[in-house]
Homo-oligomer: A and B are copies of this chain.
Amino acid sequence: MSAQATKSEGLAGIIAGQSAVCSVEQGGLYYRGYEIHDLAENATFEEVAYLLLIGDKPSGAELEKFKKQMIEARALPDHAVELVKKVAKAPAVHPMDALRTVVSYLAHFDPDCQDNSKEAELRKSIRLTAQIATIIGHMQNVIDGRDIVKPDPALGHAANLLYMMRGAKPTEEEAHIIDVSLILYAEHDFNASTFTGRVIAGTLSDMHGAVTGAIAALKGPLHGGANEAAMEMIQEVGSVDNVEPFMKNAFATKRKIMGFGHRVYKEGDHRAAILHNLGRAYADKKGKEAVKWFEIGEKVQKIMADEKKIYANVDFPCGMTYFVMGIPVPQYTPIFVASRITGWAAHIIEQHENNKLIRPLSEYTGPSGLKW
């Protein structure tokens, strides 16, 4: 380690490289120059996926071709469906782990697996984006003891995902909420899972390997797993009346409140309100029992803002929204993957286009001078 080395635990404040995919700023979140509210209001997930992967807004014809490629790539080979059946209910499994195994497995049958050229990686990106939604749907079918629901080519990505999970077609509002959540979750610069993917890609390893590692990273409750952890906490609070005693106790015992704060955003996460408003409007129509979860969440948010000046990130409203839509909690982070795969793939392609091995130093703190 050199005398000039800079030290930063957790790499806070360290710029690890350049990227043209996304800009995360205190004042806003931008995907390739487009602001996130603009995209959430005016684009679909497929358009955003195209934007992230290809680099600009698609024409009508480009979008149709892209959607067709996605739809054609949805079905899994039979032997991969068999693997889903084997792992989805394995004794020690979380759906994120099962998803990781199946994605890793699909690599062995992808004709472009060992090809790191941009063209091959774009093909793999589209396949992975399509296949991951199908894996999630099939996993839920196995967990629910339902026959495997095959993808429906008449449905868009978000609607088809919900359809495959439930075996029933979602309403337009439900499909829209999922679509927007996928847009919000698609990309976030050098977050831990994307950075994992870039470190793996930086050794000139392949895209499936990088995505497999990224899935492993996203699982953690300090990252993508926060949407599940947040909803589990809200369920534990259980009632609006219990919010104050729960929070008092949490502060006294230094318990971490999940779904709050962000390494980059200090004055709130731009994505949170967009999803909160959609979820709350949906809950209002669903009735009292659904609204209750938002009322609990809102009270938790108010106490966090008033007493700690810490604000909800997108995982907090995501948990509540998916919950009132009846999506099983352990699938929240896999659905996050169904979206973030596009950002990961864009970063892996970018890493390979201008590659440099990512290899930091460590500061040694152990004993020295020992003899065996």
Contacts and interface: CB of A to CB of B under 8 A. Distances in A.
A109 B97 contact: no
A34 B359 contact: no
A9 B215 CA distance: 24
A61 interface: no
Q: Which of A9, A94, A114, A372: most chain B CB closer than 10 A?
A: A372
A86 B82 CA distance: 12
B195 A222 contact: no
A87 B105 contact: yes
A18 B203 CA distance: 23
A236 interface: no
Contacts of A112: 92
A204 B225 contact: yes
Contacts of A212: 100, 104, 212-213, 216
Contacts of A252: none
A364 B219 CA distance: 26
A231 B198 CA distance: 26
Interface string A85-126: 011001111101110110011011111111000000000000
A192 B202 contact: yes
Given A13-B4, A104-B104, A263 B205 contact: no
Given A196-B199, A213-B213, A366 B222 contact: no
Nearest to A221: B204
Interface string A190-218: 11110110011111111011101111111
Contacts of A253: none
Interface residues of A, number: 108
Interface stretch (A19-27, A145-153, A317-325): A19-27
Contact of A200 (B32, B203, B204, B213): B213
Nearest to A16: B360
A207 to B, nearest CB: 10
A204 B220 contact: yes
B92 A107 contact: yes
Contacts of A269: none
Interface string A337-372: 000000000000000000111111111111111111
A189 interface: yes
Interface string A1-16: 1101111111111111
A169 interface: no
B263 A359 contact: yes
Nearest to A196: B199
A112 to B, nearest CB: 8
A369 B10 CA distance: 31
A109 B94 contact: no
Given A6-B15, A192-B202, A367-B32, A361 B264 contact: yes
Query: Closest 8 A-B residue pairs measured CB to CB?
Result: A203-B220, A213-B213, A209-B216, A20-B366, A90-B108, A205-B220, A16-B360, A203-B223
15 contacts: A7-B14, A10-B202, A18-B365, A19-B362, A23-B364, A33-B366, A33-B368, A91-B109, A101-B101, A200-B216, A202-B220, A205-B218, A209-B216, A212-B212, A222-B357
Given A6-B6, A10-B16, 5 more contacts: A10-B358, A15-B363, A20-B365, A192-B359, A200-B216
